[in-house]
Structure 1
Amino acid sequence: MRKTRWQTYYDRQEGALAGARERNERNAFPDRIALFFGDETGISNGAGWRLQGAIEDEAAALRLQSFEETVFCMGRHGGIGMNDDDALVFPRKFGAEALRGGWRHWSQKAISGMPDLLRAHGEGDQLRADAELIEKWLEADRTLSDEKAALIRGDVAPLILPSWE
């Protein structure tokens, strides 16, 4: 994703109103498909972001997604309500004692040694829908054993780094 322009509050309000109009149109005409326009640089989401993904090929090397693949991602992630600035995010803020006061880009520090971010109820659960993780980390009754929890308490990398498979 690349930010192509910042929007004013007025732009954001107009975008919200347009979203409501689109929602009404989808309800009135459910057989109409969404149209996406883009090129090899990606597809605009209409909120100042240009999306162009990369995907692994058969040899596990990254290649740019085709227009069709990018449209699939736009269709899936383009209208999610749980995002920041109309972009799908994995937000994580650390305490003031962390590198750069807790704010940094992923490229500024390896993910190893990063503790699990606990939710308000005291549990970490940001990746709860990943089938591979469920199989690898959870017991048959879908609970996290104390031993597995201890493995990720001080280093969340084993949990969130993808396996080769």
Structure 2
Amino acid sequence: MAAGNCLFGTVDSWLIWNLTGGKNGGIHITDVSNASRTMLMNIDTLKWDPVLINFFGIPNSVLPAIKSSSEVYGYIAKGSLRGLPVSGCLGDQQSALVGQQCLSMGQAKATYGTGCFLLYNTGNFPVHSSKGLLTTVAYKLGPKVPPVYALEGSVAVAGAALNWLRDNLNILPSFGEAQIHVPDL
């Protein structure tokens, strides 16, 4: 880091940096939804928290710029898509919230896969849970609009538990029969 040739970011910032040129002028950015999940961003100011980055010894210069979830960040630098704008970025579960059209306060979605993730849209103000849910930035659809926040609960082994019941205990012959066997468990 001392040599100034190091960048820190999440998968989205790496993808955008590479799409927009990488070492040859790539743009080092992330959006508020991904930045909020690093636990280094202040979700009230939408900026890197100076107390936290100083505590961890992370120079601000290695962090990506924090942008909204929807704006033109740069342009694809190479290949057949060269010149197309890179103009949207959302975290994993936050994109599911938008994709399932939970755009109003009070709407929620649950995504079930290896894990199960519930996001509840809390509107333009962060709500802090006393029940162990994570307060996160859901999205910010443009640089001049307020962010939308969410509460998130997750279970890491939802789908994996079904695999375990099927593969280790032989209780479920197939996932299709899970609904039939639930009353028996």
TM-score interval, normalised by the smaller of the two chains: under 0.3
Query: Would you tell me which structure has more strand in proportion to its own residues?
Result: 2
Query: Would you tell me which structure has more helix in proportion to its own residues?
Result: 1
